[in-house]
A and B are shown apart, each in its own frame.
Chain A
Amino acid sequence: MSSKGNSGTIVFALVVTTLSAALLAAAATILKPAQDENVLKEKQQNILSLVGLNGPNDYKKFEELVQGVVIDDQGTPVQGVEAISLDLALEKKLKSKNPAYKVRYPLYIYKDQQGKVTYLLQMAGVGLWGPIWGYLALDQDGNTVKSAIFDHKGETPGLGAEINTDGFEKQFNNKKVLNEQGQFVSVKVEKGKHDASMPHTVDAISGGTITSNGVSKMLQEDIAFYLKYIQQNPNNQAL
């Protein structure tokens, strides 16, 4: 192969790029199943960790431990789609592009050995730089938050990225989403003076205002959606 002249250069470049592309395409195809499995496993582990099931192998029993329900905006269960395979962020994106789109939410119901029900909610929202998401455990009464976890794609380290730390997440334990009149008020992430006894607010992250607001908005929107189903099924006949 000549290293001089334009044709030699172009041929060389074509050969190199074609080989590279073929190699990468092959690698991506071969490794895809293993990567997808990791993502699914992480999701299952996240959901189970809400009710304290943190064992390394608990996710293998995911199907037995929790029951998934897909609900529509009227709070009625939708058939024909599995909760775990529903992409909530995609649902919300479709909804924002087309207001007529009927958005669906995945809900997981966990029943402990005493038969007490915990609702495990999946949430999706937007932070400062990209998607944020979270999972929240709501008590049988449809009011008390038992635990919450959050994560993000690329919030600023030390600022918005703090939403996935214990310090932030633990604040949500025992918060209420309904006020004394039983109306939905959500849990808000707010700056300012706080003490742990305030039922509807948690302390925001300093320097992470936009991410904090994103979390607030996500909680407000998504908990309201799930409550329709939870309030229509107070004794949870679904189980």
Chain B
Amino acid sequence: MKGETIDDRALVLDRDDTVATALADLEAASSLSYDGRTIELTENVPFGHKVAMEPIPAGDPVRKYGSVIATATEAIQPGDWVHTHNCESNRGRGDTTAEVSDR
């Protein structure tokens, strides 16, 4: 598997990433040891979902695969579940584009 596995329970795909992917159902108050730090989960994170490994201020990019996958819509703390409730896509957003044309 590409990336770095944490305690067999999560995966960081690239060193620049700010989130890890859960490889099991992770429970609130459990912890992950990563990069010399202990990150305590603030809530449950289901298998396949993402947990923040760094603080991400509102408006800052969320990184996975070494690329930007979203922008935080609120301040995200390490150990938070990261999904559609606290970050959003920057692409394919016809709803935010004022111009509606036949171009």
Same complex for A and B? Answer no
* Chain A residues close to B by CB (< 8 Å): none
